[in-house]
Structure 1
Amino acid sequence: MGLDTVELFAGVGGFRLGLEEAGHEVIWSNQWEPSIQAQHASDCYVKHFGADDHTNIDINDVPTEDVPDHELLVGGFPCQDYSVAQTGAEGIEGEKGVLWWEIERITRAKRPKYLLLENVNRLLRSPTDQRGRDFAVVLHCLHDLGYNVEWRMLNAADYGYPTKRRRVFIFAARRDTDWGGWLDEEADQPHYFTQRGFFPREFPVDSGQQQFPVARQPDTELLGDPKQTSEEFEFDFEHAGSMVDGGIWTRDVDPIDIEGETLGDVLQTGGVDDEFFLDEEDMDRWEYMKGAKEEDRVTDDGYEYTFSEGAIPFPDNLDGPSRTLLTSEGTTGPGREKHVVEDPETGDLRILTPIEAERLMGFPDGWTDTGMSRTWRYTCMGNALVVGLVEQMGRTLTQSPDDLDSDSGLVFGSTSE
């Protein structure tokens, strides 16, 4: 059964596309791009989904009562400094403008059954001078609101998608729900992160790794309150983990690679406009930018140092998944991180087209062809998530967690217990 869903930081609708394909319904959404007048992502969202129940204002300015009651809250929120402060009678709160606290505010008021959130993988280790602090604050807030949590760092390329994109997905289940109760009972058991959890059902990992004893003790625990966690907590979170009643279990897992699409599979055939092809006169500069370097350099204040970096394939390999798509794609001027491919029809070198960028992220062809500039089309895709990953998670949300032990035919992991 599908869930009534609220989508925050909606971008051009990646979460919505994936969840609706899995049978869920988005009943309200918000997208706001700060510091610019043109709201290209929101305009794109409205073109495809309509303006009803969509807002294009700063989420900080949205009254909580304007957000409808819902069962699932989703969004890809920025990785920021999540430090907290004690504010007397007002209790614990974070710095104004940090968008995690808007998720916390809405969750506190609406109490959805589930949250499904996405962030860059460095969230698990930030900030550098207190590793793991920011993620622990997120976990502590969810703990205080009555949720159990499971997370997983996923690389889309490991599961058959044509691009390498590593992101942390956070699944939070209210403790009185079926998934919340499942975490209570199962998260400290062997095989949880390889078979029995929320994520391994669609994203299998090697089940033959080192086994933990039954009902093992937490690897660490949250501290007394979010403020103490903010000030004192430090821990190396692994790529998979859970938080139940303040206890934290975490481990690294090895994905079972699934062969799928490659960069070559998404390239357009039948002719690409000349504007996407590289100028021959720039080729030496391209070679330099993409090549390995070890150079003596001097800073403006006279400090001498050796600069070094490895080579990047030029052109990109078409027989595997692409490198991570960036927001800076889309111009033919030399650039180290830009994708350059050999055109399948002419054999000449060119950048990716907007349609190819959309295909890499799992969007329909022309999704961002809504009147925005070409540069913004790449920016929107560079900020997007891989739609198919969300669809897979959405499918798991339509299942009961104990379907694992039923005759439902649910397939998970590489072996069975």
Structure 2
Amino acid sequence: MAATADRPATGRGAVEAIWRIESARLIAALARFTGDLGLAEDLAQDALVAALERWPAAGLPPNPGGWLMTVAKNRAVDLFRRDATHQRAVESLGHDVARTAVPAADEKLDDNPVGDDELGLLFAACHPELKREYRIALTLRCLAGLSTHEIASAFLVPDPVIGQRISRAKKTLRDKGIRLDLPSSEYLHARLASVLEVIYLIFNEGYSATSGEHWMRPELSNDALRLARRTAALAPDLAEAQGLLALLELTQARAPARHDRDGTPVLLQDQDRHRWDRLLIRRGMAALARAHRLGSAGPYVLQAAIAGCHALAPTAADTDWTRIAGLYDVLDRLRPNPVVTVNRAMAHGHADGPLAGLAILATLPPDTLDDYAQRHAVEAELLAMAGRHSEARSAYARAAALTQNHAERTLLHLRSATTTPP
């Protein structure tokens, strides 16, 4: 069918862009609909194939998400009807789905930007029956839409390892008959720590992509922020839920200034702070105040307090690095890990001088984070601050060689090239 005047032909890129926006909601809704996450993914992929076949010629439907959902649901009903063992499912599904020969263009997935289907899938993926590494891999795959390779790159493990984790997680959910919806209140709080962790990881991948052409993946960070808002609303009495929300609001506020007009990445100290989103800063500081009123200061509350220090500094020179270094010291005692050590080194480098920061980096065991680009980038910054320019250029080159993100690699090469004695 030829494209009409008001519905122009659609390129593959547009279809894939819509898929990135809709896939998480689509898979989550289908998982609840069918009770099988693996099947939900297959059905969603079938709908994507149908869109790639039809939309380039027919143009985008008025509601692409609804179109995809209708195709996938119709496919599910067909599968159940062909399988005699699912006869009961067919009968129950018949009450929920109006079978149509052509997908309804105006069908809606969910009026809410983050529906209960997504939250339900998130809490199901964080079920205690699943190992921690399974929960993370499954959530990043199904809700963040990351490829197996992207997840493997983020955790510095081979691709097959992540593939196995995702497969085993799906099998466990299926074999244990775990419902793919929001748990009752008595079980909800027990899973919150894991839920917060995966939201944090989704946001980080969106804010600083591990691979690809672009430094950021806004669709991921925006989705994580919406999930954090819904989760904080579900747990208003949990300081860490409010702390994570504060951290994400305050961090996302800097996103408009993280690249210049040409799309070149801009580091924090060089950003035009007038471009920071003041509404997000106000929302973040309000969430941080709520977290403080609740008493405890966990890792997310501490990181939010650090982000608040940056947000409240009118210029980079006004940053309270002494307070930030102190907060990192507390974070390091509360949850010690090598990445915290790297960030703590940078903070002390600004607060107490580059030699202090380098001394903290030197406390890392040999070969720790040797394949982590950010570790070498921080070392390069500290070496440059100390006037050790040749060593700094080598560290920048090492960081550039390790990153799989094209924009970040370009930035690191630029930093290396401009690191010269005055």
Normalised by the length of structure 2, the TM-score is 0.23
> Which structure is higher in strand share?
1
User: Normalized against structure 1, the TM-score is what?
Assistant: 0.23
